[in-house]
Chain A
């Protein structure tokens, strides 16, 4: 029984990472109606920026902050230079553009930093705490606390600031947003910038856990999509709950279904997506998607 709960705890830790990337996906989907397949590769790029800073001798936490800031600028530029011109085109065009972004970041990382595995130091101490029979290491607690902080921050920003209201208004009705004086393009760019910042956090959490290479986020972006789709791609709460569900189910399947092997384990979140889409196409938390002009 203790083993079972320990798996759940570990699963929540991984789930928090999927959730932070999932939140980025939801943010972009809600503000620009785009499923950003490049989100994971953008996060890998963020991890490389942090690695580069560390390599240049910048203190670790500063490196991480700089990486987040650079990522946000890159997110804004990705929107302004590329996504904006296709935003109102058909879905296939948009999918292809985000896949293009995926390849662009992936090859840029490879060209800049090579395909060898690098290691990004962890920002958390190597301590662990026991609560009853369960063990929590600092990394796990830190990851969960960061996710909680991000969730609270996003809630306050979106629900309780002028900028947040303007972002929600632009997502809800582009024409009316402009007609009340909201600079629509700027809002979309800010949405992409914030999402890139959230994605960067997930990249910075994953980097030290795995090894840093251009394909680091390959499986994780799939888990993040699974998490976001559990929430219908439109619900922030859904992405967080979805992240936990995916993380826990993955941990449990690794613990109790080892005969599946690591190749089949990765199918689990996909099966979850399919199951959710069959049972409840709008997701467990999603609202019906509002068609925007």
Chain B
């Protein structure tokens, strides 16, 4: 059973087309990575999924058609979208950012437990819990963005270049945390990256987007052994 299915989606901005019949699936409890150069349409794909732009084609969450729903409705159905460049609530505290991530949930006691879990996952956030998100470092903000997305208890989490601009050690920590969450909680993920090494290591499936078209898809292992991919995204 697939959690998320994107079927023949075309989308763009105004009259300018960006995506051409893009198809992609994310399986139950699995991680898919979407690779592609700058401007390929990765962000646009995620925006279509979370209802931020119009598209033709079909996008299904647990078999349910998402067409025509707004971003807030889609979030309440269980899609958490961590946008490129973080998108935390900069004038809310770290703790409030996490709390607001659980907006769709009603299980108050569980929410408190989960906030604590986020602090265990990202100990730096615990130290900064009363600080405004805007005052965090880039790495901390990215952790907060991931933590906030997880607080939604999503069926599937979309992450747009989570490693962008972070130091290598921090990227390692982040990916380790993502893998742990995926294993322990079974949350499916669709991760967009340009820098693909780590993403391919933790992913089950991989897709490659070029100028709005899907040019390659398969298991993460197969894709990472593809010569073109090695040259373009793995730096060897």
A286 to chain B, nearest CB (A): 12
Binary A-proximity of B75-118 (CB < 8 A = 1, otherwise 0): 11000110100011111100010011101100000000000000
Tell me the chain A residues, 161-201 only, with Cβ under 8 Å from chain B: 162, 165-166, 168-169, 172-173, 175-184
A180 and B104 contacting across the interface, CB-CB below 8 Å: yes
- Contacts A162-B103, A178-B70, A179-B80 given; indicate if A173 touches B88 (C-beta within 8 A): yes
Nearest A-chain residue to B77, judged by Cβ: A181
Interface centre among A172, A178, A181, A287 (most CB of B within 10 A): A181
Docked pose: A290 CA to B71 CA in angstroms: 22
Asked whether B148 is an interface residue with its Cβ less than 8 Å from the other chain, the reply is yes
Asked whether, in the complex, the Cβ of A181 is within 8 Å of the Cβ of B75, the reply is yes
Q: Tell whether, in the assembled complex, residue B50 and residue A179 are in contact, meaning their CB atoms are under 8 Å apart.
A: yes
Bound state CA distance, A162 and B99, in angstroms?
A: 9
Residue of A whose beta carbon sits closest to that of B145: A176
> Which of B72, B76, B96 is close to A184, meaning CB atoms less than 8 Å apart?
B72
Do residues A175 and B52 form an inter-chain contact, with CB atoms below 8 A? yes
A137-168: contact bitstring with B at CB < 8 Å (1 yes, 0 no)? 00000000000000000000000001001101
CB-based contact A178/B72 at 8 Å? yes
Shortest B45–chain A CB gap in Å is: 15
Residue in B closest to A184 when the chains form the complex, CB atoms? B72
Q: Which interface class (under 10, 10 to 19, 20 to 34, 35 or more) fits A?
A: 10 to 19
Are B71's CB and A178's CB within 8 A?
Answer: yes
Q: A179-B80, A179-B87 are contacts. A166–B71 as well, Cβ < 8 Å?
A: no
Q: With a CB–CB cut-off of 8 A, which chain A residues contact B52? A: 175
Q: Residues of A contacting B104 with CB < 8 Å?
A: 180-181
A-B contact count (CB 8 A): 71
- Residue from the list B73, B90, B103 in contact with A290, Cβ < 8 A: B90
Most buried by B among A176, A177, A287: A176
What is the distance, in angstroms, from B144's C-beta to the closest C-beta of chain A?
11
Enumerate chain A residues within 8 angstroms of B80, measured Cβ to Cβ.
179-180
Q: Are A182 and B91 in contact (CB under 8 A)?
A: no
> Do B100 and A165 have beta carbons less than 8 Å apart?
yes
User: Residue B152 at the A interface, CB < 8 A?
Assistant: yes
Can you name the residue of chain B whose Cβ is closest to the Cβ of A182? B103
What is the minimal beta-carbon distance from B141 to any residue of chain A, in angstroms?
12
Per-position binary interface string of chain B over residues 21-39, scored 1 when its CB falls under 8 Å from any chain A CB and 0 otherwise = 0000000000000000000
- Residues of B near A182 (CB, < 8 A) are 72, 100, 103
Q: Which of B50, B52, B100 has the most C-beta atoms of chain A within 10 angstroms of its own C-beta?
A: B100
Contact of B103 with A181 in the complex, beta carbons under 8 Å:
yes
Contact of B99 among A165, A172, A177, A179 (CB under 8 A): A165
A183 CA to B91 CA, complexed, in Å: 19
Given known pairs A180-B103, A180-B148, A181-B104, the reply for A168 and B75 (CB within 8 Å) is: no
Q: Given A165-B96, A168-B96, is A180 in contact with B90 using a C-beta cutoff of 8 Å?
A: no
When A179-B87, A182-B100 are in contact, do A169 and B92 touch as well, CB less than 8 Å? yes
A183 touches B90 (CB 8 A): no
How many angstroms between the C-alpha atoms of A176 and B50 in the bound complex? 11
* Contacting residue for B91 out of A165, A184, A290, CB 8 A: A290
A169 in complex: contacting residue of B50, B71, B89, CB < 8 Å: B89
**Known A165-B100, A178-B75, A181-B103: A173·B70 in contact at CB below 8 Å:** no
* Residues of chain B contacted by A178 (CB below 8 angstroms): 70-72, 75
Chain A nearest Cβ from B4, distance in angstroms: 16
Whole-angstrom distance between the Cβ of A80 and the nearest chain B Cβ: 16
Q: Which residues of A contact B101 (CB under 8 A)?
A: 180
Taking a contact as CB atoms under 8 Å apart, the answer to whether B152 and A175 are in contact is no
Instruction: Decide if A179 touches B89 in the complex (CB within 8 Å).
Output: no
B89 touches A176 (CB 8 A): yes
The interface bits of chain B over 101-142 (1 if a CB of A lies within 8 angstroms of the residue's CB, else 0) are 101100000000000000000000000000000000000000
**Which residues of A approach B to under 8 Å, CB–CB?**
162, 165-166, 168-169, 172-173, 175-184, 287, 290
14 contacts between A and B (CB under 8 A): A165-B92, A165-B96, A165-B100, A169-B89, A169-B100, A172-B91, A173-B89, A180-B101, A180-B104, A180-B148, A181-B73, A181-B104, A182-B100, A183-B72
Q: A162-B103, A182-B100 are in contact. List 13 more A-B contacts (CB 8 A).
A: A165-B100, A165-B103, A172-B89, A172-B90, A175-B87, A178-B71, A179-B71, A179-B83, A181-B72, A181-B75, A182-B103, A183-B72, A290-B90
Residues on B lying within 8 angstroms of A by beta carbon are: 50, 52, 70-73, 75-76, 80-81, 83, 87-92, 96, 99-101, 103-104, 148, 152
Report the 7 A-B pairs with minimum CB-CB distance, sorted nearest first: A181-B75, A178-B71, A181-B104, A172-B89, A181-B76, A176-B87, A169-B100
